[in-house]
Copies of this chain bind each other. A is one copy, B any other.
Amino acid sequence: MGKVIETTFRVRYAETDASGVVYHAHYIVWFELGRGEWFWQQDRDYHRDVEARGLNWPVVELSSRYLAPARYGDLVTVRTWFKESKSREFTLAYEVVNAATRQKLCEGWTKHLNVDAQWHVVKIPDELRELMSG
């Protein structure tokens, strides 16, 4: 398990649904937030270091498990870490916790392929490999 990167923010009203709690798909967006921070806090930027060199890291598989609800205004923390990689794909893992109580709300992972501008699967460049050594 690589370095764990944390980011904390408040739940938006837009993220709740009529059941009174956060709609499940927004946690998948929060995983992306965690992923962005995992880049930035390691001095990388997805746009500059991946997209701008003609690559793309689309999500090809994801999984999430919901343990407790989040509500409007709650401070939540997303914890993100590198889980595993092959030459052309890698997996990040996530945990969402209530920042005040540290109760775990959700856990999951996303698997990404490294594709070029023609959307062909290619090797992850060595310079980006270090990101994954943790």
Contact = CB atoms under 8 A, between A and B. Distances in A.
A58 B20 CA distance: 11
A62 interface: yes
Interface string A53-74: 0001011111111100101110
Nearest to A31: B25
Query: How many identical chains are in the complex?
Result: 4
Contact of A19 (B9, B12, B58, B61): B58
- Interface size class on chain A is 35 or more
A10 interface: yes
Interface of A: 9-10, 12-14, 16-21, 23-26, 28-29, 32-33, 36, 40, 45-47, 51, 56, 58-66, 69, 71-73, 119
